[in-house]
Amino acid sequence: MAEKDVAGPQSPGGVGNRRATLKDVAQAVGVHVSTVSRALNPETRHLITPQIVEKIAEASRQLGYQPNTAAYSLRTNRTRTIGVLVPDITNSIFPPIIRGLEDTLTPRGYATLVVNTDGQFEREVAILETLFARGVDGLVIASAEREDSAIRAVAARGTPVITVNRRTDDPSIASVINDETEGVRYMLNHLVALGHRNIATIAGNQALSTGQRRYEAFLRHAVEMGLDVSPTRVGFASTFNEADGERCMEELMARGGGFTAVLCANDRLAIGAIMALRRRGLSCPGDISITGFNDMAMVDRIDPPLTTVRIQQYRVGAAAAELLLERMTKRSEIGKPQHIVMPVELVVRGSTAPPAQTSGNAAATRDLKTATRPAKVSVRSV
């Protein structure tokens, strides 16, 4: 509870009330502003006599000199600012990505301007407009759709851009995403190991790479595993949220069921699915196992704790920042990977269990196999 004490970020010198400028430092040392500029810039410091550099450094410290960002930008056309587009910062999968970005960008002198698109294309366009007006040096886009003409326009314009979490279908747009395919495979493996043979899925928005890739992986691997993937066991969500999960689950059950597990394209859909189940008086995982994707904050504490695929949000952000920095400095270094896929891991919790043995009270479950397998695994790393 001790008072926080500090010299404080207020004028620790300066001239009068103004912030100190290069000219002030130059005057103090008795050299020209250009000399000060060079001395203070690591790139050009070597041009200046070490003693003078020292004197300049001292004086600028004394005066509390801080370069004027506006002047720097006006002159160099660079702002050391990165625009970050997210669908909605309120969706808890994005903040960790943003921190990953910030934590690697800030030490390099870059600031991030985070804006919300709410998944609306017109907003995305308008936002990009204002970001360009502010002269961002690069863009990180977490709101990318598979066909995203706005992003293509940005790239065509020459602004370094990278998508995170999702990617566009255009391979020339750099990206950092998660290994959706493997994630789905792990999950199917897990369900099959528990004894499930009749697995439905609630797929996400197919206009987003996450939705599309997870669904595609489901189809591919389910077939490989010899599972029945009839279209009646597929629900398509358009919004990746709880309401849509609920709706899709109801649809699936209305179509007659016959499945013992539902693989959902993300955690929020899974939560909705569980609610729908409950409303019908069914239990998870007693009657039906439900799985998520992302491992959002708190899904380990909900009832039942969600079995899901953990993605490395923070590291996705950090990797994207690194990649972007490279593309902004070394001019389009060839040979560097343009697409990074981060590994994911399966997290087994309470929302999955072996299929019910009896045809019991679960209206949606029929066609049960008898196979039973190891009941519970803790967090399994892959």
Comparing CB distances to DNA, the nearer of 6 and 133 is 133
How crowded is residue 170: how many other Cβ atoms within 10 Å of its Cβ? 16
Q: Residue 62 carries which DSSP code? A: H
For residue 296, which of 1, 133, 55, 94 has the smallest C-alpha distance? 94
Q: Which does 284 bind (CB under 5 to 8 A by kind): its own copies, DNA, none?
A: none
**337, containing H or E segment:** none
Q: Is 63 in the site for DNA (CB under 7 A)?
A: no
Complex with DNA: residue 17 or 381, whichever CB lies closer? 17
Q: Is position 11 an interface residue for DNA (rule: CB under 7 A)?
A: no
Say whether residue 271 binds its own copies (CB under 8 A).
yes
Alpha carbon dihedral 109, 75, 320, 160, in 10-degree steps, equals 180
> Taking each helix axis from N to C terminus, what angle separates 267-279 and 242-254, rounded to the nearest 10 degrees?
50
Q: From the CB of 332, what's the least distance to its own copies, in Å? A: 17
Q: Which CB sits closer to its own copies, 111 or 379?
A: 111
Q: How far is the CB of 80 from DNA (least distance, A)?
A: 11
Which residue, 229, 225, 173, 176, is CA-closest to 199? 229
Torsion angle of C-alpha atoms 265, 311, 309, 349, degrees rounded to 10: -130
Which span sits near DNA by CB under 7 A: 47-55, 86-94, 149-157, 177-185?
Answer: 47-55
Q: Which is nearer to DNA, 15 or 302 (CB)?
A: 15
**Cα dist. 75→71, 78, 157, 273, 327 in Å?**
6, 8, 20, 55, 21
| Contact call for residue 249 and DNA (CB under 7 A) | no
Give the pair of three-digit tokens for residue 36.
Answer: 């000060």
Q: Which is nearer to its own copies, 124 or 182 (CB)?
A: 124
68 scored as a contact of DNA (CB under 7 A)? yes
End-to-end CA separation in angstroms for the chain = 45
312 contacts: CB under 8 Å, gap ≥ 6: 178, 342, 343, 344
Q: How far is the CB of 51 from DNA (least distance, A)?
A: 7
Of the listed pieces 26-34, 123-131, 276-284, 304-312, which binds DNA according to CB under 7 A? 26-34
Neighbouring residues of 197: CB distance < 8 A, sequence distance ≥ 6: 227, 228, 260, 367, 369, 371
79 lies in the site for DNA, by CB under 7 A? no
Asked whether position 279 contacts its own copies by CB under 8 A, the answer is no
Q: How many residues bind DNA (CB under 7 A)?
A: 29
209 touches 265 (CB < 8 A):
no
Q: Which is nearer to DNA, 42 or 226 (CB)?
A: 42
324 near DNA, rule: CB under 7 A: no
> Could you give the 3-state DSSP secondary structure of residue 329?
coil
Interface with its own copies (CB under 8 A): 1-6, 8-11, 19, 66-71, 73-74, 79, 88-90, 92, 95-96, 98-99, 102, 106, 111-116, 121, 125, 128-130, 132-135, 145-150, 152-154, 156-157, 206-207, 271, 297-299, 301-303
Interface with DNA (CB under 7 A): 18-19, 21-23, 31-35, 37-38, 40-41, 44, 46-49, 52, 65-68, 71-72, 74-76
